[in-house]
Amino acid sequence: MFHYIWPIVLVILSNVMYQLCARRMPNSVDPFAALTVTYLVGAAASLLLYLLLHKGGNILEEFSQINWVPFIFGLVIVGIEVGWIFVYRAGWQVSTAPIVQSAIVAVILIILGFLLFKESMTWNKILGIAVCILGLFFINLKP
C-alpha cells in the first residue's frame, strides 16, 4: 500500500509548496531569471538523486534513450511555472486559482482520456464534469 500512497502524498505536498512559492515570488524579480535559478537547482537535485539511486548507472546512456517528450515537457513546465507567477501577480487568490485551474484541467483530461487513450466515459465522470463546472460557478461568485 505504501508504494501506492507515497507518490500522491509527494505530489500533494509538492503542489502545496509550489503554490506557496509561486505566490511569494517577489514582484521585483523577473520570473524568467527566477526560473533559471529554479531549473539549475532542479537539475542539480535530479542529477544527485540519479547518482544516489542508480549506483553504477550511466546517465549518458540514459540520455541516448530520450525521445522528443522531455524537450516538450521542459517547455510545458516553463509555461506552467511562469503562468502561475503571472496568475498571482494578476491578483488571483491562492485559495481560488489552483481550484479553478484543477477543475478545468480535470474536465479537459477526462475528455482527452476518452478521445486519445480510449478511457471509459462513465456516468460518474460525466457527473464529475458537471460538479466541476458547478463548482467553478460557485467559487467565482462574488459576495
What are the extents of the domains in the chain? 1-91, 95-143
| 47 and 59 Cβ atoms separated by less than 8 Å | yes
Report yes or no: 92 and 140 within 8 Å, Cβ to Cβ: no
Whole-number Cα distances in Å, 97 to 20, 67, 89, 139 = 12, 33, 12, 10
Q: How confident is the prediction along the chain (143 residues), in pLDDT tens digits per residue?
A: 889 999 999 999 999 999 999 999 999 999 999 999 999 999 999 999 999 999 888 999 999 999 999 999 999 999 999 999 999 999 999 989 999 999 999 999 999 999 999 999 999 999 999 999 999 999 887 77
Distance (Å) of CA 127 to CA 29, 66, 118, 132: 43, 39, 19, 9
